[in-house]
Chain A
Amino acid sequence: MSRYVSYRDFDWLLLVFVLLICGMGVMEIRSATMHTKFAGAHIKQMYWVVVGVGMMLLMSLVNYQALLEQIHWFYIAGVGSLMGVMVFGQKYLGARRWIKMPGGNHFQPSEWVKLILILAVARYFAELRHRELSWSDFMKAAAIVGVPMLMVLAQPDLGTALTYVPIAIMGVFLGGMQWKQGVAVGLLALVGVTAVFAVPRVHVLKTYQKQRLTSFLDPELDPQGSGYQVEQSKIAVGSGGLWGGKGSQTHGNFLPVPQTDFIFAAFSEEHGFVGALGVLLLYFIVLMRLTQNAQTAPDRAGTFVVMGVVAVLSFHILVNVGMVVGFMPVTGIPLPLMSYGGSSVLFMFLALGMVMNVRMRRFVN
């Protein structure tokens, strides 16, 4: 089959836009870390991007259909690695998220599980024989995503756990969800969220997680905590104005982690509304291009794989930029392609590799 596959069908245009966004990220990381102990992080980020592009090219060569055939093994391996984290993981800042690898690197399995889930959900919905989802289909899909999600939640890592949700939602939505099911699940989610916050003795969330979420609703309650972070982020974005400014929030250290979670606030402060809107537009173009690739996919599973990536990327952008402009609580979700960090960069490029994989096989059959 692979002889039909050629890099001529590789989505070079998509790669150009993706690299443009990465370039913005590297530039902003450089500016934000210039006089801090993280100085030079942009160089590392460039290495990660180069490695990421390489991984993407490799990923595009492996037939996604072959991956889907073996997905149950990957799924088991993914769940196994999450269990490994629970047992052998490094405890850092009260959470057990990383496994220390030989050579000093840290491996965060929850990122890779995201990729496995995209594939698993794609295969599950591609194989469904009926047009409309039954409740049992619904529950099975929920279980596929729910098991690893609960394990990540237990680490605890609320942010990453939440990024699994859009994979399930996108699958269910495209897989033929009925409107009444949508309404019912929506209501159920509402009740669940209310229970988590309002009912005492329900310890799904840690106290600091609850605080982060509640302080979003009333930042004045906790000015130096996460409410403070949101407030400082809003000040950074707002003081950027139309054309951008000096960046005193970023460089005065008022903005928390300006190279990772709040990189969009730092960018908005220095480049203003015009710059920030430009970056949003780049992301929008990337997402639209991805959706187009989903439409031209050779099979149902391909569409589901690409739309899974779209779902994760859109969710990251919504939650991260929403947090930066004060619409969303602080959850610790990075902005894909821009935020500093190897795991995040590699995940995005691997995901894009799967998209390329699907696209390069569009004329097969």
Chain B
Amino acid sequence: MFGRDEKVSEERLTAAQYIILGIFLVLAYGLWRLQVMQADYYSLAAEKNRIRNVPVLAPRGKILDRYGRTIVDNYPSFSALLLRDSSRDLSADADSIAQGLHLDPNEVRARIKRFATMPQYQPIFLKEDITPDELQFIEAHRNELPELDTIMAHRRLYPRNGFMAHLIGYVGEVSDDMLNLPAFELYNPGDVVGISGVERQYNDMLMGKNGSRQALVDSHGREVGRLGETEAIPGKPLKLTIDIDLQIAAEQALEGKNGAIVAMDPHTGEILAMVSGPTFDPNDFAVRVSRDEWNKLVTDPDKPLLNKAIQAQLAPGSTFKIIMSVAGWQEGVAQTMHVNCTGSAEFYGRRFGCWVKGGHGAVDLEKAIYQSCDVFFYTLANKLGIERIAKYATDFGLGQKTGIDLPNEVSGVMPSEEWKIRNFKQKWFAGETISVGIGQGAIAITPVQLLRAISAISMGGKLVVPHVINPTEMPPGLIEAGHYADVKTVSVEPAGWNFITDAMSRVLLPEGTAPSAHIPGIDIAGKTGSAQIVSLATRAKFKNSDALAQNGWFVGFTPRRNPDIVVCVLFQGGEHGRLAARLATQVIKAYVEKRDRNPQKMTEKPKSNGTVDVGGLWSDPIAEGESDALEAARFVVDLPKKRMVIATAAPGMN
């Protein structure tokens, strides 16, 4: 028995009961406040906690050659991204995130700011193609930095060493400037889009559409289930008209050189090969390109980022004489013209020299073409006048964009009286016409323009639109097929066209300007050109610096009647057209060898009137000695109904 004989105060015990009651009322109020008054708020908070929107990235479409061989593929890699639907203050974590991912903290903060107006469920892509130790960092900090996550992305794998880099282009994150363009208005910051080449031209098709997944996550951000998924729509594969085999030959021909090579099917305008040199490696751009590397590319005097096939604007030099010849023939001047070349001629009080100092002697149109006599074409230009020259050049598409399906094609310049007044507020001087006659002076064209013009002449005036994809093989509705079918015909008298192409076929023979490029057994019609960048006198002042060396040109096709392929070469600093011609014949040789190696039976679809155009080439058995001299003709064959003519041609020519 302990204590006094006295009970504990009843009041105090009752007070204790009331205190306990008070405690329970407070606790009950706490429950009421959360579960009844703020139930909606906390239900939403619980939902936000456990549901996370994770994007599902659509793989970009592959880029294939004309036979479906893969040129550009994707490979899987991890990207780091910042989820913004958690309630964390992202800017506060920027420093630790930047450190772990080896980024600039200010850049991270700037990105967070840039995305501030975007919907919450869209994450911010911080870094692509992260390294294993960066991946490790993210996994190890799931608790401290729950907003940081990774995603499997499909990255572009481009051919190595800059193969086809200019044509393909490259992808990158869409810039603010691009987002302001109407073509990109449907894109969001952070989207990876084509920046140049076909990657840009056909971006809509290649890109596909990202999906998203509503993932159920636990408190560590680990996915424990999924609510729903909008599937990603993969980009569509893009089949180019390029033949890899021919592209390889062209790349090899131009390797280490400055310039461009373009090969095209003159019937359809399909580009078979396109190279620009020097090149760059688009894989360097696939992840972010460093500022130094970029500056180096931009400031390089050889302009490696420029696709010279469509962006170099240069004087065509003597290759322009083919346009001159067609103009002269059509105007009835050239076929009867005879000039005695003494090495120079005087026009309007000024002396114009021929490239052969001693002169060519008596020259007619044929000799003027294969010997490239300047005096003949000075005289012809003088007779035609700038307006008639400009008319024909313009008809053949010079000084205008060709409409090729590549971004940022330039138009070049075809001078005329009207052009001079518009741009210089000056009258055209007749003396200026003389230089234009040999492709010098104010005239500036791109390789693809020249290719298209010569292709048209080789095809009897059929002016095609060059293109790098075959619109009929594309899913309907994606590309305006009509654009590429927009073939114009420049009327050229058949006799004149045959005469000129026959003359062109002698350029590579011993009497021509490029005999060293001759390949026995292959009938090539072409024209060399050597265009001055500055006058010879100015160049002498700079001690014949290589930077001012002449540009070599060659444009040619094979065979001379109904040709299968037309090739244009720009060899900057190549000094003479015959060197360009050698590059062109390498490509043509590769083409012919491939065709001979695996001939394919193919049927050509008869035209609506039931005829088929067939080119023919043979050597005259009677004319002995000149075994290389070939006769050529184009035939139109009438077809009986329901029968196809079977001819041997290069694979894929349809």
Contacts and interface: CB of A to CB of B under 8 A. Distances in A.
Q: Do A and B interact?
A: yes
Contacts of B4: 126, 129, 300
B540 interface: no
A280 interface: yes
Given A249-B49, A252-B224, A242 B31 contact: no
A284 to B, nearest CB: 5
A47 to B, nearest CB: 29
Interface stretch (B211-219, B328-336, B499-507): B211-219
Interface in B26-63: 26-28, 30-36, 38-39, 41-43, 45-47, 49-50
B24 A254 contact: no
Interface residues of A, number: 58
Given A299-B1, A325-B30, A294 B35 contact: no
Interface string B80-102: 00000001100000000000000
A317 to B, nearest CB: 7
B35 A240 contact: yes
A307 B16 contact: yes
B87 A291 contact: no
Contact of B8 (A303, A318, A322, A325): A303
B31 A126 contact: no
A301 B7 CA distance: 9
Given A174-B16, A277-B31, A317-B23, A252 B8 contact: no
A300 B3 contact: yes
Interface string B188-216: 00000000000000000000000000001
Interface stretch (A19-27, A75-83, A88-96, A229-237): A229-237
B220 A234 contact: no
Best-surrounded residue of B2, B38, B219 (most CB of chain A within 10 A) = B2
Contacts of A277: 28, 31
B38 to A, nearest CB: 5
A297 to B, nearest CB: 8
B30 A322 contact: yes
Contacts of B47: 248
Nearest to A273: B35
A252 B50 contact: yes
Contact of A301 (B3, B28, B33): B3
B31 A254 contact: no
Contact of A239 (B7, B16, B39, B220): B39
Given A241-B39, A252-B217, A253-B219, A303 B50 contact: no
Nearest to B15: A173
Given A253-B219, A254-B49, A291-B16, A238 B30 contact: no
B472 interface: no
Interface string A301-314: 10110010010001
Contact of B13 (A224, A239, A307): A307
Contacts of A299: 1-3
Contact of A318 (B23, B31, B36): B23
A360 interface: no
B12 interface: yes
A127 interface: yes
B27 A236 contact: no
Interface in B323-376: none
Contacts of B218: 252-254
Contacts of B17: 288, 291
A176 B9 contact: yes
A295 B34 contact: no
Nearest to A321: B27
Given A126-B2, A239-B46, A326-B34, A300 B39 contact: no
A310 B20 contact: yes
Interface string A114-134: 000000000101110100000
Contacts of A237: 31, 34-35, 42
A336 interface: no
B27 A252 contact: no
A327 interface: yes
B13 A294 contact: yes
Given A234-B34, A252-B217, A318 B27 contact: yes
A249 B216 CA distance: 12
Contact of B2 (A123, A224, A272): A123
A287 interface: yes
B227 to A, nearest CB: 12
Given A238-B35, A242-B39, A249-B49, A280 B16 contact: no
Contacts of A268: 31, 35
A173 B16 contact: yes
Contact of B20 (A240, A273, A276, A314): A314
Contacts of A310: 16, 20
A365 interface: yes
Given A127-B2, A300-B7, A232 B219 contact: yes
Contacts of A273: 31-32, 35-36
A186 interface: no
A284 B20 contact: yes
Nearest to A255: B219
Contacts of B624: none
Given A252-B49, A252-B219, A238 B42 contact: yes
Given A276-B31, A280-B27, A314-B20, A300 B8 contact: yes
A249 B16 contact: no
A223 B88 contact: yes
Interface string A243-272: 001001100111000000000000010001
A238 B49 contact: no
Nearest to B146: A224
Contact of B43 (A65, A223, A245, A295): A245
Best-surrounded residue of A68, A125, A174, A283 (most CB of chain B within 10 A) = A174
Contacts of B46: 235-236, 238-239, 245, 248-249, 254
Contacts of B34: 234, 237-238, 325-326
Contacts of B49: 232, 235, 248-249, 252, 254
Nearest to B32: A273
Nearest to A283: B24
A162 interface: no
Contacts of B31: 237, 268, 273, 276-277, 280, 325
Interface of B: 1-4, 6-10, 12-13, 15-17, 20-21, 23-24, 26-28, 30-36, 38-39, 41-43, 45-47, 49-50, 87-88, 143-144, 146, 216-220, 224
Given A238-B34, A253-B219, A314-B20, 20 more contacts: A65-B2, A129-B4, A174-B12, A174-B16, A232-B49, A232-B219, A235-B49, A238-B35, A239-B46, A242-B39, A248-B47, A252-B49, A283-B24, A284-B24, A294-B8, A317-B24, A318-B23, A321-B27, A325-B27, A325-B34
16 contacts: A125-B3, A173-B16, A174-B8, A174-B9, A174-B13, A224-B143, A253-B220, A272-B35, A283-B24, A284-B21, A294-B13, A299-B1, A299-B2, A301-B3, A307-B13, A322-B26
